[in-house]
């Protein structure tokens, strides 16, 4: 059976995600393959489908027991034989798994890298007909990576013991050094390299000032009380404090950190996975074992230690490709907490690497540029599109003439003989000095019009512009560049960004009452089978059911994510709920070919206005927003009515605007029917509506 048929049969998908099919073809052909794909893009299918297409067993190396169990449960529910062997199993359970494999009942075996240290494991593998090794989370093999696991280094022995068995290595986060490490340490033979875009289009990125953060979190979650979310913080005390506050506010929140017993951690993780708790407040120990697809937000209460770690943790949001938020609360003071951990590293080389990664993380937090572009650039990818899902793009910062501000900073650095860092320069500008000599400097108190934190922000903004540089890793000292001297001489002017208050956008609520009914049914079924609800059906599948109202088994089979096995096992139960709901509310079934507006992150006109200002055409804006062109035309019409100045030259060519305006001036009425009749079929109603709105807007402004 071919890959597409198996995809439909077992997983209920009618098409592949970008890149999946070519990867699968290379794996099936027997090549070694390296795959770099972002979280949520379907990496697992790249070895699960070949496992079904090739004779023998596919052995999957996975770093965590919870992750293995999740994958095995999901495969079995889809009618695929799979097992795992891990340290939590009794010897008799492990023996039963071996029997299943030897008798051909299972196609996939999941194991942890530590299993290869067992004296009897390799001899057992040699008894099987192994067709493929899949190394998941392959970045763990590299010391350059953020989740280095020494046990992964043992995987070199796979090539020695199984020289003819192909290997596929997969990861969602890997800078070039890590990619090279993976290929080298796994001894991949002339591997086919597949790199997909790191761009997670369904995620919106925010960086918020860390001020009254817990109250901000409470307000944010209150508007999303039914959504699942993860809150990351550095310390266990902080995790417990946030959890306690959230529980006082009535939220079902649990902690996860090293201070809890193993049983307590496992119980809390299980409750979160099974939707018995909506929120988990965790230290970074809450890692890769989470495969929960319906996490709607990931909040970083404390500063992450690296871009890679931050990207992977934010990747736990929106794995079902529905709109989700990534929010980071930032204060430069948090750098000291991370510095403390860096100091504890024994290796000087590791300290230097950690400080470099921290500096990159600080640059991300303080950047006024597009955050999506910053992240993609970090991973070596150029982003040429338009981002409408990060705080800097949703609400661009106001640019001000910062020349006088820059001069005060540069003079202060000079007064201090270029021997101090940003924190002390900021304090001195606000009048705080640690020495009598410094208190007598002209710069002392010269910047009382701004608080010290704002001066620090200005200082850090001058660095990427080339007016200042910081020398030294542990205690960076500010030095003035030649460009900075030109500012002091009055040769060069400086632009700085005025801090803006970014409001977290409230998502449209696309969930109908039917979605809640289906979610409750899913929870009952999942509890009965002792599996996470998203393994029965992900939220995206339930939302599609609640959008199209399938009322026959054939219609249910067309829903994305409903494969043959799930249709047979769960289809009729969900169908009954849908039929009862539709009968009660007199709702007819919708065909999937019908035009149904896509769920978008923001239902107002701001995104349309933003895209129009970027010079996009009507079709391009509609594609970006996932809406019909007529809907975008309606947005633009409304924007004119609301007094917005919209340049439509890229939407409707100037000569066509002029032609429409000429014909309008000769009509006694503004009705579009008469105008369309005069202009003919060469002009669309969308064009007429937009130009009419523009003309009326100008008349109103003149009046």
Least confident of 322-331, 504-513, 562-571: 504-513
Element (H, E) at 564: helix 564-585
Q: What's the confidence (pLDDT) of residue 700?
A: 60
pLDDT class of 296 with cuts at 50, 70, 90? very high
Q: What's the confidence (pLDDT) of residue 510?
A: 43
Mean pLDDT over 668-679 rounds to 68
Write the class of the CATH domain 203-394: alpha beta
Averaged pLDDT of the chain: 84
The second-level CATH assignment, the architecture, of 606-702 is: Orthogonal Bundle (1.10)
Both tokens assigned to 233: 């913080």
Mean pLDDT over 136-151 rounds to 76
Q: What's the confidence (pLDDT) of residue 3?
A: 84
Computed from CA positions of residues 62, 67, 71, 76, in that sequence, does the dihedral angle turn out positive or negative? positive
Q: What's the confidence (pLDDT) of residue 592?
A: 66
Tens of pLDDT along 675-693? 777 888 788 878 887 888 8
Partnered with residue 231 across adjacent β-strands are 281, 299
Least confident of 237-241, 307-311, 497-501: 497-501
Least confident of 22-36, 178-192, 306-320, 663-677: 663-677
Q: Residue 617 above 90 pLDDT?
A: no
Q: What's the confidence (pLDDT) of residue 465?
A: 83
pLDDT class of 33 with cuts at 50, 70, 90? very high
Which residue in 260, 350, 361, 359 sits closest to 303, CA to CA? 361
Residue length of the chain: 703
User: What's the rounded Cα separation, in Å, for the pair 4 and 14?
Assistant: 7
Collapsed DSSP state (helix, strand, coil) of residue 256: strand
Q: How many other C-beta atoms are found inside a 10 Å radius of the C-beta of residue 495? A: 12
Q: What's the confidence (pLDDT) of residue 369?
A: 82
Mean pLDDT over 79-102 rounds to 90
Tens of pLDDT along 385-416? 777 788 888 776 667 888 999 999 999 999 99
Q: How many other C-beta atoms are found inside a 10 Å radius of the C-beta of residue 284? A: 17
Q: What's the confidence (pLDDT) of residue 253?
A: 95
Q: What's the confidence (pLDDT) of residue 285?
A: 60
Give the ranges where 397-538 is alpha helix by DSSP (H).
403-415, 422-429, 436-439, 452-462, 482-488, 513-529, 533-536
Q: At what angle do helices 452-462 and 403-415 cross, to 10 degrees?
A: 90
Q: What's the confidence (pLDDT) of residue 298?
A: 95
User: What's the rounded Cα separation, in Å, for the pair 21 and 31?
Assistant: 14
User: What's the rounded Cα separation, in Å, for the pair 137 and 296?
Assistant: 23
Q: What's the confidence (pLDDT) of residue 59?
A: 95
User: What's the rounded Cα separation, in Å, for the pair 612 and 603?
Assistant: 16
Check residue 113 and report its DSSP letter: G
More confident residue, 132 or 665: 132
Partnered with residue 204 across adjacent β-strands are 325
Element (H, E) at 28: helix 20-28
Q: What's the confidence (pLDDT) of residue 672?
A: 64
User: What's the rounded Cα separation, in Å, for the pair 462 and 93?
Assistant: 62
pLDDT class of 361 with cuts at 50, 70, 90? very high
**Share of residues in the chain with pLDDT > 70 (%):** 90
pLDDT class of 254 with cuts at 50, 70, 90? very high
Fold category of 398-498 in CATH: Arc Repressor Mutant, subunit A (1.10.10)
Name the one residue in this structure whose structure tokens are 């539709």: 582
Name the one residue in this structure whose structure tokens are 């024994």: 346
Q: What's the confidence (pLDDT) of residue 247?
A: 94
Which residue in 498, 503, 507 sits closest to 216, CA to CA? 503
Q: Where does 14-87 show beta strands of DSSP type E?
A: 33-36, 57-61, 82-85
| CATH tag for 3-195 (out of 3.40.50.300, 3.30.70.980, 3.10.450.50, 3.30.465.10) | 3.40.50.300
pLDDT class of 422 with cuts at 50, 70, 90? confident
Mean pLDDT over 469-489 rounds to 86
Which residue in 182, 179, 111 sits closest to 141, CA to CA? 182
Least confident of 148-162, 164-178, 213-227, 636-650: 636-650
Q: Residue 475 above 80 pLDDT?
A: no
> What residue spans in the chain does CATH classification 3.40.50.300 cover?
3-195, 203-394
Tens of pLDDT along 362-376? 989 988 888 999 998
* Highest averaged pLDDT of the listed ranges 415-419, 456-460, 599-603: 415-419
569 Cβ partners below 8 Å, 6+ apart?
Answer: 77
More confident residue, 13 or 509: 13
Q: What's the confidence (pLDDT) of residue 506?
A: 47
What pTM was computed for the model? 0.67
User: What's the rounded Cα separation, in Å, for the pair 253 and 78?
Assistant: 31
Q: How many other C-beta atoms are found inside a 10 Å radius of the C-beta of residue 90? A: 8
Mean pLDDT over 236-252 rounds to 93
User: What's the rounded Cα separation, in Å, for the pair 23 and 25?
Assistant: 5
Write the class of the CATH domain 513-585: mainly alpha
Q: Residue 434 above 90 pLDDT?
A: no
Q: Residue 191 above 80 pLDDT?
A: yes
Q: What's the confidence (pLDDT) of residue 596?
A: 36
pLDDT class of 289 with cuts at 50, 70, 90? low
């Amino acid at each position: 059976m071919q890959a597409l048929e198996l995809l439909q049969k077992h997983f209920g998908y009618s098409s592949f995600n970008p890149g999946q099919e070519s990867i699968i073809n290379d794996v099936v052909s027997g090549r070694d393959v390296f795959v770099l794909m972002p979280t949520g893009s379907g990496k697992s299918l790249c070895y699960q489908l070949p496992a079904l297409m090739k004779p023998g067993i596919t052995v999957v190396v996975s770093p965590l027991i919870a992750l293995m169990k999740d994958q095995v449960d999901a495969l079995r529910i889809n009618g695929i034989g799979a097992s795992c062997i891990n340290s939590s199993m009794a010897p008799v359970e492990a023996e039963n798994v071996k029997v299943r494999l030897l008798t051909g009942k299972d196609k996939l075996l999941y194991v942890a890298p530590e299993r290869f240290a067992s004296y009897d494991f390799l001899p057992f593998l040699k008894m099987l007909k192994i067709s493929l090794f899949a190394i998941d989370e392959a970045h763990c093999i590299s010391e350059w990576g953020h989740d280095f696991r020494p046990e992964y280094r043992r995987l070199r022995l796979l090539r020695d013991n199984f020289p003819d068995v192909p290997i596929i290595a997969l990861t969602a986060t890997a800078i070039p050094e890590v990619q090279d490490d993976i290929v080298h340490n796994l001894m991949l033979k002339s591997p086919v390299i597949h790199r997909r875009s790191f761009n997670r289009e369904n995620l919106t990125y925010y960086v918020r000032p860390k001020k009254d953060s817990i109250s901000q979190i409470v307000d944010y979650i209150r508007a999303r009380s039914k959504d699942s979310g993860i809150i990351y913080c550095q310390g266990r005390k902080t995790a417990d404090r946030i959890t306690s506050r959230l529980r006082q506010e009535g939220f079902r929140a649990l902690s996860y950190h090293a201070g809890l017993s193993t049983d307590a951690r496992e119980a809390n993780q299980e409750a979160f996975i099974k939707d018995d708790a909506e929120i988990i407040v965790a230290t970074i120990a809450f890692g890769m074992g989470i495969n929960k697809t319906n996490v709607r937000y990931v909040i970083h209460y404390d500063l992450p230690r690296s871009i890679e770690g931050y990207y992977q943790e934010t990747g736990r949001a929106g794995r079902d490709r529905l709109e989700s938020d990534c929010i980071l609360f930032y204060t430069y003071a948090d750098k000291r907490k991370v510095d403390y951990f860096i100091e504890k590293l024994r290796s000087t080389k590791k300290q230097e690497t950690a400080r470099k990664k921290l500096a990159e993380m600080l640059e991300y937090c303080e950047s006024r540029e597009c955050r999506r572009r910053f992240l993609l650039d970090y991973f070596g990818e150029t982003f040429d599109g338009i981002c409408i899902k990060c705080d800097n793009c949703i609400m661009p910062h106001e640019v001000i003439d910062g020349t006088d501000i820059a001069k005060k900073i540069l003079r202060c650095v000079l007064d201090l003989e270029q021997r101090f860092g940003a924190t002390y320069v900021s304090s001195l500008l606000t009048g705080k000095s640690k020495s009598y000599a410094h208190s007598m400097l002209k710069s002392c108190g010269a910047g009382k019009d701004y608080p010290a934190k704002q001066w620090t922000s200005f200082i850090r903004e001058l660095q990427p512009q080339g007016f200042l540089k910081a020398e030294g890793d542990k205690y960076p000292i500010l030095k003035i560049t030649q460009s900075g001297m030109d500012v002091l001489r009055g040769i060069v002017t400086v632009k700085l960004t005025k801090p803006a208050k970014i409001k977290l956008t409230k998502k449209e609520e696309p969930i109908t009452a039917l979605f809640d009914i289906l979610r409750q049914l899913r929870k009952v079924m999942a509890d009965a089978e002792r599996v996470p609800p998203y393994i029965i059906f992900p939220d995206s599948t339930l939302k599609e059911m609640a959008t199209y109202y399938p009322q026959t088994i054939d219609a249910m089979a067309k829903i994305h994510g409903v494969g043959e096995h799930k249709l047979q096992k769960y289809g009729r139960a969900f169908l009954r709920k849908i039929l009862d709901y539709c009968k009660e509310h007199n709702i007819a079934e919708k065909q999937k070919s019908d035009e149904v507006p896509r769920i978008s992150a923001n239902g107002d006109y701001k995104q349309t206005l933003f895209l129009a200002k970027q010079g996009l055409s009507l079709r391009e804006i509609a594609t970006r927003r996932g809406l019909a062109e007529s809907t975008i035309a309606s947005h633009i019409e409304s924007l004119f009515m609301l007094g917005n100045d919209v340049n439509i030259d890229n939407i409707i060519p100037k000569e066509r605007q002029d032609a429409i305006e000429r014909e309008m001036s000769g009509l006694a009425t503004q009705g579009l029917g008469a105008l369309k009749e005069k202009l003919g079929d060469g002009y669309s109603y969308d064009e007429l509506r937009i130009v009419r709105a523009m003309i009326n807007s100008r008349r109103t402004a003149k009046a």
